[in-house]
A = this chain, B = another copy of it.
Amino acid sequence: MTTDVFAVLADPHRRRVLELVAARERTAGELAAEFDVSRPAVSRHLRVLKEAGLVTCRQDAQRRIYRLDPGPLTEVAGWVDRMRGYWAGRLDALEDHLDANPEVPNASR
């Protein structure tokens, strides 16, 4: 049971699904029609997305209507921001370093 959001987002099909349901709710059929792959394949992607909490599924008669739940995306956004934060913080120290060692990465050449 893949519950890792990053891994779930790794597949382009799944990202596309999220883009589609972000705009508005979609039935499984509508979603499947957007892809070149078979319906069961889409169905599996939907299950993965559902297990990851990225979509919710409402049932209307035979139709399953999928909707985006952006909640788990905060983990991703947070991680990325943290990376960029660390990077930005490190830049100051780096500038000092480069200031002291102007362009001499390999002196023995």
Question: Which residues of chain A have a CB within 8 Å of any CB of chain B?
Answer: 4, 6-7, 9-10, 12, 15, 18-19, 22-24, 58-61, 68, 70, 73, 76-77, 79-84, 86-87, 90, 105-106, 108
Please report the C-alpha to C-alpha distance between residue A58 and residue B10 in the assembled complex, in whole angstroms.
28
Assuming the A-B contacts A80-B73, A105-B58, A105-B60, are A90 and B6 also in contact, with contact meaning beta carbons closer than 8 angstroms in the complex?
A: no
Residues of B within 8 A of A84 (CB): 70, 73, 77
Docked-complex contact B10 and A90, CB < 8 angstroms = no
Partner of A19, one of B12, B68, B81, B83: B83
Residues of B within 8 A of A15 (CB): 6, 79
Docked-complex contact B86 and A23, CB < 8 angstroms = yes
Docked-complex contact A22 and B87, CB < 8 angstroms = yes
Please report the C-alpha to C-alpha distance between residue A7 and residue B12 in the assembled complex, in whole angstroms.
9
